Structure formats: C-alpha cells, structure tokens
A and B are shown apart, each in its own frame.
Chain A
C-alpha cells in the first residue's frame, strides 16, 4: 500500500535523471525526498504524480497500478513550488476546482471548501484573487485545493522553496501539524536537510539519479550509509582518518585513551556556539562547542588539546 515505484529510469536527452530507482512509501506517512538540485527527486515525484512518464519502471498507488494512467485519473494531490494558483479564479473557486470537475452538488462543495479554508486559515479570504494573497497564503490555498479532492497521496514539489525563511519555518511546523490531523500519505521534495529532518517521518536521500539511503531522520543522521549522506544531512569534519560530526568530537585538556594531540588554531563565536578550528598531525578538524565548554577548557589559539570522537559518535572512514 502507499506508493510503490519499481525500477524507475528517466532520461532527458543525454541526461540521466533517474537510474533504476525503487521507492516505497508507507500509507499515512510523511516522507521527504531530499537531495541536491538536479539529483532527480522532482522528476521522481512528477512520475508518481503522472506529470512525467518514466522510460522504464512501474508505479503503484494504494496497490493499484498507475503506470500510464494519466494524471487526471490518478487522484493525486500536487502542490507546486510556485503555487500554480489559478489566477483568474477566487480563492474559493481555486479550492472548489477539483470538486466542480467531479460535479459534486453545490451545497457539498460550499461546505467542503469552507472546511478546508478554515483548516488552512484562509476562510476570510475566500473572495480574494490569488494575486491579493502573500506567498505563504497562496501556498496554503494550493494545499487546500489539493486536499479538496481527498487524494490518495499528496505530493509537494519544493513547497516552501519560494518563500522567505520566516514564513518557510512557520509553514513547515504547520504542515507537520496538518499531517498529524489529516494523515494523508504525503511525499515532499526538498533540498533543505533541516526541513527534511524537522518535518518528515522518513527521508529518502536522492543524488545523481539514485537513492543513496532511506530511513528515519535520526537513523540517517546517526548512521549515514556513506559520506554523501553524512555530508548532506549535517556538518562533517575530518579527524585523522575518519569523518565525524563537529559536535561529536570530545576536546580534552589532558591525554586520554584513543585521543590524538592537537592545537587550537582559531576560535569563532556565533551566539552561544563556539567553533574551534584545530590542527592535528594529519588533519585540520573543527569542533562545535558550547560557550560554557570552551570556557571550562580555557580554549585559546595555540593551546594544546587532545581530541577523540565521542563514544556514541557515528564516524565513517574518509575516502
């Protein structure tokens, strides 16, 4: 159930957008397709939504084969980065669009649209045109419009990509809460790892037309399968032969078991956080500390320290 895509390949001319990709999304989950731009995640989403046809592979939605079924008969909700608002229709008519196409009774349409507009906090704007709304409001309208037809799956293509940081954060929280209420199977595409880590139940990391790793946010952060996933999900530094997260390095004032000697090169303070740039025999790691930790160790440039990965730190051998 949910979404099952098997063996999906897609080329645009010489460019391989997707290369034999398998994607499985559980019913009712909120899944993020995460990766750098041009990596193929949007193409995969559009193939699931029927807006793009795969060269090879099959798509099943809720156990029903959807490959080759045109988008208008897939019953999939799609939300675009640039809202794709119907500019000539009011907010009400935008949300009602799918229901009007399905020839639902007028009274039912009115009731359902107002329900949805309340859900996305736009009820007082029902008679406005999209051009009279802010970006965040337009995207909430687009979400209500997609939800109106009670889709089997909801697909969001960089839904917050065109919004400024503050609105993006608000909408992120709001999407998470909305999903907790509505529970529709949701897949969203993002290149922002913080967004993926914060919002989703599951993350699929896609790069160069392939899936690098699939798992829960904590799983991926703590046990990355390779250096790409590790680097994409958070900061990485190199200590000796190993890649490690900068907050997973212990800085010690005295020599201890498993620690390597080093020297503080530079200290940068960013609010409560202190970044210490260091030098060891064969690497130049940086370490993320709290201000308290840095003061307790009396760190300053030139001071000799000993470094080791924290005992529960995830590390990878550097390539």
Chain B
C-alpha cells in the first residue's frame, strides 16, 4: 500500500527531459524501500511483537486473560464510555457541522478553530482540566455537584466527557466539507415542497452526509476505544470499577502481571475491524 502511494507521483507527471528508465526505476525502488522500512519499524514490528508474544504464551493463557473478571468488567466500562461519547459526538458533530455550513454568525470562525483544539492538546491536560472544573474538592462546579450528589470525576460521566472531548472534531471534520460541497439548494427545494426543518434534516440532509457521517463515527469509535491519558486522569484508575481496557493493559504491563499482550491483541483486533470498516466506507463516501 505504501509503495502504491509512492509510485503515483513518480509516474504521473510527464518528464520534460527524457530520464533513463533504469535510473527512474532505481529511484522508485529506493523510495519504496524507505517507505516500507519506515512503516515496518514504526508500526508493523511493535504490533507483530505483541501478537507474537500472545501466540507464544498459548491459547489457554489467552483465553484466561481475556475472560478474567477485571477484563470483562473493562469491556463493559469501555463499551459504555466509548458508546456514550460517540453518541454525544455524533449528535453534536452533525449539529455543529450544519451550524458552520449553513449559518453566518459572530464567533463562527472562533467556533471553527475551537473544534480542532482537542487534536492539539495533550489528553493528560484535558483530564486535568476536567478535574479542575468538575472535581468535588477542587473543581469550580465541585461543591454544587457534591450537594446534588452527582459524581463526575472518578466516575463514568467524567470518563465520557474526557473521551468525547478528545474525539470531538472527528465527526464535524468529516461531515462539514460534504455539507459545504452539496450546498443549500436541495434543502431549499425540500422547503418549497412543504418539508419542515425536521423533515428536511431526516429526508435530505442526513441521507446526503450519511457516508461521511459513518466514516466519522467509525473514526470516533476507534479513537474512543484507544483513549488512555485523559481517561486515566479523570477515572482514578480504580481496578474493577473505573478501568477501561487501555487502563487494564497499562496496569498489567506495569505490574508485570500476565494479560497485557493478550488484551492488547483484543484492542488491535477491534482497531483492525475499524480500519477495514473505514476502507470499505471511504470510496463510497467520496462519490
């Protein structure tokens, strides 16, 4: 795949001066080798090592590790946190994309910039900031939340917030360009045919962006499942209670307990499924 990408720019432009074919072929092989070696060292080798360690330790170890009570609980926490975060980001993402694409208002460009902040800020800082805002003892809203008996930090709501924060731009950035490209005429036509705002959203806007939306959702799922830093800070990392799968992997690895490789393979498998889903969605989303 990497070599395919590299070939295109070499072969595409017609050279002004004829270059000797042998020289061109050499360049192509060299570039191909560099790219493959780079990706192999950076991505493939670590993954292969993890998978190999897992296989090496045998099927029964694998089975025990992935069915351990802590692990099973972590699946539930992860699914709950990631599911809620992706749901929130999907609704929010479509809403903000429509807002940015269809309306001009003061603060529009500021909003547009803020959407991208989560990409540039380290997740650890996101976690700390959430603690500062929502923590019972330290947070701005802490006392009020404590009086109401609502636990945000060290609990599921905080983990959902942290996960939603880091995955915030993914849906917006997929949906927005499609909305901008398609323009407003289909919605105006639907309006003149009698469709109210809700009918226009369901019958015209959502079908128009459905592939971009699906792509954004899959990206968000992958990002949410893999989130570690922000969730670690806000969850308190309590074993068997507020641990997502990534936190369990971290604990097992740090304490040299068995299971880190095996659970990593589970995460890798889910990522692989996401990547396949993305590559299946992508060409259709582009047409």
Contact = CB atoms under 8 A, between A and B. Distances in A.
Interface in A81-129: 82, 84-89, 97-98, 101-102
Contact of A88 (B188, B189, B208): B208
Interface string B176-206: 0000000001101111111110010001100
A159 B210 CA distance: 29
A80 B189 contact: yes
B191 A72 contact: yes
A219 B207 CA distance: 49
Contacts of A89: 207
Nearest to A71: B191
A319 interface: no
A72 B210 CA distance: 24
Interface in A35-91: 49-51, 70-78, 80, 82, 84-89
Contacts of B199: 101
Contacts of A75: 194
A78 B210 CA distance: 26
B190 A97 contact: yes
Nearest to A46: B188
Contacts of B189: 78, 80, 84, 86, 142, 145
> Most chain-B CB neighbours within 10 Å: which of A51, A86, A102, A142?
A86
Given A86-B204, A87-B208, A88-B208, A51 B188 contact: yes
Contact of B190 (A86, A88, A102): A86
A71 B204 contact: no
A142 B186 CA distance: 11
B188 A72 contact: no
Contacts of B203: 97
A74 B193 CA distance: 9
A72 B190 CA distance: 8
B192 A77 contact: yes
A85 B195 CA distance: 15
Interface in A149-202: 149
Contact of B192 (A72, A85, A87, A88): A72
Contacts of A230: none
B11 to A, nearest CB: 31
A72 B194 contact: yes
A25 interface: no
A317 B196 CA distance: 54
Contacts of A84: 185-186, 188-189
B192 A146 contact: yes
A85 B182 CA distance: 11
B191 A98 contact: no
B211 to A, nearest CB: 10
A78 B192 contact: yes
A71 B208 contact: no
A51 B192 contact: yes
A4 B192 CA distance: 19
A142 B195 CA distance: 16
Contact of A80 (B185, B194, B195, B204): B185
A27 to B, nearest CB: 20
A66 to B, nearest CB: 13
A101 B185 contact: no
A149 B193 contact: yes
A102 B190 CA distance: 12
A245 to B, nearest CB: 39
> Most chain-A CB neighbours within 10 Å: which of B185, B194, B196, B208?
B194
A253 to B, nearest CB: 59
Contacts of A73: 194
A71 B189 CA distance: 10
Contact of A50 (B190, B192, B210): B192
A84 to B, nearest CB: 4
A84 B186 CA distance: 5
B287 to A, nearest CB: 9
Contact of A98 (B194, B196, B210): B194
Given A87-B208, A88-B207, A101 B195 contact: yes
B274 to A, nearest CB: 25
A91 B210 CA distance: 20
Contacts of B194: 72-73, 75, 98, 101-102, 149
B277 to A, nearest CB: 21
A98 B195 CA distance: 8
Interface of B: 185-186, 188-196, 199, 203-204, 207-208, 210
Interface of A: 49-51, 70-78, 80, 82, 84-89, 97-98, 101-102, 142, 145-146, 148-149
8 contacts: A51-B188, A72-B194, A78-B189, A80-B189, A85-B186, A88-B210, A146-B193, A148-B193
Nearest 7 A-B pairs (CB), nearest first? A98-B193, A84-B185, A78-B192, A84-B189, A88-B207, A71-B191, A101-B194
Given A72-B195, A87-B186, A88-B210, 9 more contacts: A51-B191, A70-B191, A72-B192, A72-B193, A78-B192, A84-B186, A86-B189, A88-B208, A148-B193
